[in-house]
């Protein structure tokens, strides 16, 4: 039975990761085929760096992810602190509403946001509309990560600081913030990763001329799959892996002063 389970795990991992491995390998293919190996080369990466459309899409992705991450980190951290430190009416309801974007399918959220922008408030689609959409679903993830950090937080440290004459702002910046900083940074990294990789919500809420990398890949597939697309996918994959590893590292950090 043990061997069957081990074999099943191996098969599942092979099924999941062999296609990703093939994408990475053929991004270094000298030829323009994605199924015939013609030799090792960085030519497609060089072509990618000279592609103005790809650079424009990369710029848009970084702007959207950066701004959305900053806003959602501030709001998510404040929400986590309010939920964990205070007891107030509608607290349970607030928690449920905050985490709705995590359980609602992306396509449903995308259509809802598009309808809200175009039919309800008549807001034009562009970078701002995408940023707001990304903030909507990123707040939940940041709040979740920061709340997890606050679970083991010793509030008596804050009380001691207040007793020694510090005001609330001094206590927050000198005591609370340093202690929960790994959770905040971890939540921000997770939000940035989700924002960079998002396609469905971005596709529905972006206006003409505001293509991100994920949307650029989708549009390029219509003209055929080339090793250049494999190169873009490989770079996105490496970016996601690095950010997720950083997120896991910051989330697991233990502050010695706790």
Tens-digit pLDDT profile for residues 137-194: 999 999 988 888 887 666 677 777 777 777 777 777 777 787 888 888 888 888 988 8
CB atoms within 10 A of CB 120: 8
Length of the chain, in residues: 258
Residues ≥6 apart with Cβ < 8 Å to 187: 73, 76, 77, 141, 142, 143, 144, 145, 146
Rounded-to-integer distance, Cα 230 and Cα 217, Å? 9
* CA-to-CA dists, residue 201 to 90, 108, 216, angstroms: 29, 9, 14
Half-sphere exposure of 82 (CA within 13 A, CB side): 15
How many angstroms separate the first and last alpha carbons of the chain? 45
pLDDT value at position 134? 93
Whether the predicted pLDDT of 210 surpasses 90:
no
Whether the predicted pLDDT of 256 surpasses 50:
no
Confidence of residue 135 (pLDDT cuts 50, 70, 90): very high
Rounded-to-integer distance, Cα 146 and Cα 184, Å? 6
CATH homologous superfamily of domain 52-251?
MetI-like (1.10.3720.10)
Convert the pLDDT of each residue in 54-93 to its tens digit: 788 888 888 999 999 999 999 999 988 888 877 777 778 8
Cα torsion 43, 44, 49, 50 to 10°: value is 80
CB atoms within 10 A of CB 100: 12
CATH 1.10.3720.10 residue spans of the chain: 52-251
Convert the pLDDT of each residue in 211-229 to its tens digit: 888 888 788 777 666 777 7
């Amino acid at each position: 039975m043990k061997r069957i389970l081990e074999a099943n795990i191996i098969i599942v991992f092979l099924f999941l990761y062999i296609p990703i491995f093939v994408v990475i390998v053929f991004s270094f293919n000298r030829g323009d085929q994605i199924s015939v190996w013609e030799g090792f080369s960085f030519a497609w990466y060089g072509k990618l760096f000279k592609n103005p459309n790809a650079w424009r899409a990369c710029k848009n992705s970084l702007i959207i992810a950066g701004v959305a991450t900053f806003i959602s980190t501030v709001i998510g951290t404040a929400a986590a602190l309010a939920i964990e430190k205070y007891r107030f009416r509608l607290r349970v309801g607030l928690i449920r509403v905050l985490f709705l974007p995590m359980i609602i399918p992306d396509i449903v959220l995308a259509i809802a946001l598009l309808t809200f922008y175009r039919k309800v408030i008549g807001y034009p689609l562009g970078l701002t509309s995408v940023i707001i959409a990304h903030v909507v679903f990123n707040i939940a993830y940041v709040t979740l990560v920061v709340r997890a950090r606050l679970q083991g937080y010793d509030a008596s440290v804050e009380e001691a600081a207040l007793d020694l004459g510090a005001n609330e702002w001094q206590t927050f910046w000198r005591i609370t913030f340093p202690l929960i900083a790994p959770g905040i940074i971890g939540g921000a990294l997770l939000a940035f990763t989700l924002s960079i990789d998002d396609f469905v919500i971005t596709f529905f809420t972006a206006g003409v001329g505001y293509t991100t990398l994920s949307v650029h890949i989708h549009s390029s597939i219509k003209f055929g799959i080339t090793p250049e697309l494999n190169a873009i996918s490989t770079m996105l994959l490496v970016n996601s892996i690095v950010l997720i590893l950083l997120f896991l590292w910051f989330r697991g950090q233990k502050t010695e002063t706790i």
